[in-house]
Amino acid sequence: MNKLMLIINLGSTSSKTAVYSGDGLQAEKTFKHSDDISGLSPIEQLSERRQCIEDFLDASGVDISHIEIIVSRGGLGKPGPAGIYEISETMCDDLMRGRFGLHASATGPKIAFDMAQKLGVKAIVVDPPSTDEFDEISRYSGLPDIQRKSAFHALSHKACARRFAEESNRKYDELRLIVAHMGGGITIGAHLNGKVVDCTHGLSEGPFTPERAGGLPTMELLEMAFSGTADLASMKKKLAGTAGLRAYSGSSSAEALEEKINNGDSFAKNVYRAMAYQISKDICAMAACLSGMVDAVILTGGLAFSKMLTGWIIERVSFLGSVVVYPGEDEMSSLARGGLRALNGLEEIKRY
């Protein structure tokens, strides 16, 4: 019997898990959590998240003794090159304490590590969001006290870039691409010869998103922060959780916004178009990072299912060249493919 791979992908309000045999999906389940969970620390979320994985395995009838490797979405860990990393106690400690930033994805590697220890198998992450391949020049911010950091949807970016390379019969490390991952968070990166040399930060830069503020006018932000009406914790939640489409329209749902637009709501249309406008601006900014030589612009993520949104973006950026749309996140199969590369010795497993 084929050995199995357990895949764990924990997002802000969802827990996705699956079992693959080779590259074939055997079983999968997505657990939806209440919005309240996003206000809890990774440690506080751990019990509920772990129970979801255990419930899935029980319900699917998977014989856990046949699991050969556990693959988790990575968290905001120590910056480093893209690739496959073995999960260690040090990684788990950094993620759970939020040493490099707090995010719900921190709990996935911890659950994977604990299960792998019991089963005597390896646990890995693939192209974690802390992937850092920035050119040195891209790290300058404008203040010596603040350095621009790399934190983006590396798993999605890399998977889409590799897919485009394969479909165009070219090598990823010979291409000049701009990838825009568009979901609850939006990150837009310049891929030069196999490396993401610049990218908007997933929490503090770029366009506004369904629930994040993105880059803001700094003076007005300072006035708000020092107004005496908010503390650090509430400001962070305001900027990354209740901003963007949610702040303007009351909902982070693109589908709900499009329904309003189709019913003639002009304000909803302006807000949605503004997000497309900001995404387009950052795509064009990344073209400068590639000296204007762009093989393709790739739009991906859950929002790429919206023909309304992608249509507005394509109108503004098609002058750069070919625009390719890969709707959806496809993160589970991307993690599974990474697991296969590790199992088959096709990619080195790095130490954290």
| Each residue's pLDDT tens digit, 138-155 | 999 999 999 999 999 999
Answer yes or no: do 294 and 180 share one domain.
yes
Cα–Cα distance list, 278 to 100, 163, 177 (Å): 27, 26, 19
Nearest to 152, CA basis, from 272, 301, 4, 295: 301
Answer yes or no: do 192 and 313 share one domain.
yes
State residue 12's pLDDT score: 76
Task: Give me the sheet containing 24-32, strands edge to edge.
Answer: 24-32, 14-21, 4-10, 67-72, 122-126, 84-86, 349-350
Higher pLDDT, 23 or 29: 29
State residue 38's pLDDT score: 67
Interval 36-41 mean pLDDT: 75
State residue 23's pLDDT score: 77
User: Is the pLDDT assigned to residue 348 strictly greater than 90?
Assistant: yes
Answer yes or no: do 16 and 93 share one domain.
yes
State residue 2's pLDDT score: 67
174 domain-assigned: yes
Answer yes or no: do 190 and 215 share one domain.
yes
CA–CA dist 298, 283 (Å, integer): 10
3-state helix, strand, coil in the chain (%, to 5): 45, 25, 30
State residue 210's pLDDT score: 95
Q: Output the CA angle 124-202-40, nearest 5 degrees.
A: 70
- What is the tens place of the pLDDT at every residue in 272-286? 999 999 999 999 999
* Beta strand ranges found along 236-322 (DSSP E): 296-301
pLDDT band of 41, cuts 50, 70, 90: confident
- What is the tens place of the pLDDT at every residue in 88-107? 999 999 999 999 988 778 99
- What is the tens place of the pLDDT at every residue in 45-95? 999 999 999 999 999 988 899 999 999 999 999 999 999 999 999 999 999
pLDDT band of 224, cuts 50, 70, 90: very high
Answer yes or no: do 207 and 297 share one domain.
yes
Answer yes or no: do 172 and 233 share one domain.
yes
326 domain-assigned: no
Q: What is the mean pLDDT of the chain?
A: 94
Cβ neighbours of 321 (radius 10 Å): 15
Answer yes or no: do 150 and 106 share one domain.
no
Four-CA torsion 342, 347, 349, 352, nearest 10 degrees: -130
226 domain-assigned: yes
Answer yes or no: do 120 and 165 share one domain.
no
Answer yes or no: do 340 and 201 share one domain.
no
Cα–Cα distance list, 337 to 16, 82, 236 (Å): 16, 15, 35
| Domain that includes residue 183, residue range | 136-321
Paired residues of 196 in beta bridges: 191
State residue 137's pLDDT score: 98
> What percentage of the chain carries pLDDT values higher than 90?
87
Answer yes or no: do 87 and 177 share one domain.
no
pLDDT band of 341, cuts 50, 70, 90: very high
State residue 231's pLDDT score: 93
> What percentage of the chain carries pLDDT values higher than 70?
99
State residue 101's pLDDT score: 83
Paired residues of 187 in beta bridges: 181
Interval 210-230 mean pLDDT: 95
Cα–Cα distance list, 88 to 31, 84, 117, 332, 351 (Å): 26, 13, 10, 21, 8
CATH number of the domain bearing residue 281? 3.30.420.40
Answer yes or no: do 105 and 239 share one domain.
no
State residue 9's pLDDT score: 94
- What is the tens place of the pLDDT at every residue in 129-141? 999 999 999 999 9
Interval 235-263 mean pLDDT: 94
Answer yes or no: do 111 and 32 share one domain.
yes
